[in-house]
Structure 1
Amino acid sequence: MLLSTSFLLAGHFGFNTNLLETNVLNLAVVLAIVLTYVGDALRGLLANRKQSILTNFREADQRATEAQNKLREAQLELEQAQAKAQKIREQANVTIEQEKKQFIRQTQEDIKRLGTLQQETLKFEQQKAQNELAEKLVKLALQQVREKLNQRLTSSIHSAVNNFQIVLFTNSKAS
């Protein structure tokens, strides 16, 4: 029998110090082999996992940076759009003011032109009325002259007027 030592603790539990019986050496060798090969694989897995996590962090950081850049660009575009909108509003106000002034000026010109046209129309109507009145007066005067001539015209005066007209006619033909 091999040398074996065991310590009994409290009667039921003991500790065996025989290295060959307890296979501590076998366990140490197996553990060393496992740690050597599996440890490298485990270290490789952990290194890969660490690299994957770092890559994910870098990508997340890069995406965050890109998002910040896009946000800045969007804010800049918003500011530019707001400035452009303000400029358009100002131009619209200027255009409205110009159109308003032009409308007022055009309306004043139209009123002036209508006033002139009204004056011309009044003058024309006044002239027309004067011409009609003059025509009526001439007709009335001629009618009165005819009546007086018919009342006073005798055959001797009639012959004298006819002879006078014949002389005037022949003199005008001779010239």
Structure 2
Amino acid sequence: AGAMASAGAIAASGALPALAEEEGGLLNFGKIELGGGFGLNLNIPEINLINISILVAGLFYFLGPVLGESMASREKEIQSDIDDAIAKYNEATARLAEAKKAKEQADQVVKEINDSISK
């Protein structure tokens, strides 16, 4: 503890860089000063990289199948909606063709009536 205190006192006095007081552990790669008060922290335990990795892996492991099933059912529902929309479009197109045919017939009847009146 005395060596740590003296190293801290020396670092605080400016004789050593501020990062020299950190001891390099197994996963401690120190900090890289980028200037302007910014730095890149490479101390893996301090940035919880392992914890975050385990958390993300666990989420994928446990939620992956549930989300996969949910996405598959949603895909089927969307495909069903698309198929229904296509069927409605085809039905509307057929009804439009029938309406156009009926309009042409009505126009023909109107023309015949107008021709008979003008004679």
**What TM bracket, shorter-length normalisation?**
0.5 to 0.7
Aligned equivalents of 1:6, 1:40: Cα separation in 2: 44
Aligned to 1:147: none
Aligned with residue 73 of structure 2, among 18, 26, 41: 41
Aligned to 1:30: 62
Aligned to 2:47: 14
User: Using a 3 Å threshold, how does the CA distance of structure 1 residues 60 and 6 change in structure 2: closer, same or farther?
Assistant: farther
User: Using a 3 Å threshold, how does the CA distance of structure 1 residues 62 and 30 change in structure 2: closer, same or farther?
Assistant: farther
Aligned equivalents of 1:17, 1:30: Cα separation in 2: 18
Structure with the higher helix share, 1 or 2:
1
Aligned equivalents of 2:109, 2:117: Cα separation in 1: 12
Aligned to 1:56: 88
Aligned with residue 75 of structure 1, among 107, 114, 117: 107
User: Using a 3 Å threshold, how does the CA distance of structure 1 residues 27 and 63 change in structure 2: closer, same or farther?
Assistant: same
Post-superposition shift, 1:10?
4.1
**1:61-85 Cα deviation digits (max 9, x unpaired):** 1222122112111111111212222
Aligned equivalents of 1:31, 1:55: Cα separation in 2: 36
Q: Which runs of 4+ in 1 moved over 3 A?
A: 5-11
**1:25-70 Cα deviation digits (max 9, x unpaired):** 3211234212331122111111111112212211221222122112
Of structures 1 and 2, the larger Rg is shown by 1
User: Using a 3 Å threshold, how does the CA distance of structure 1 residues 23 and 79 change in structure 2: closer, same or farther?
Assistant: same
TM-score scaled by length of structure 2: 0.52
User: Where does the alignment leave 5 or more consecutive residues of structure 2 unmatched?
Assistant: 1-26, 32-38
**1:10-34 Cα deviation digits (max 9, x unpaired):** 45x9351357x73223211234212
Aligned equivalents of 2:62, 2:94: Cα separation in 1: 45
TM-score scaled by length of structure 1: 0.38
Percent identical across equivalent pairs? 16
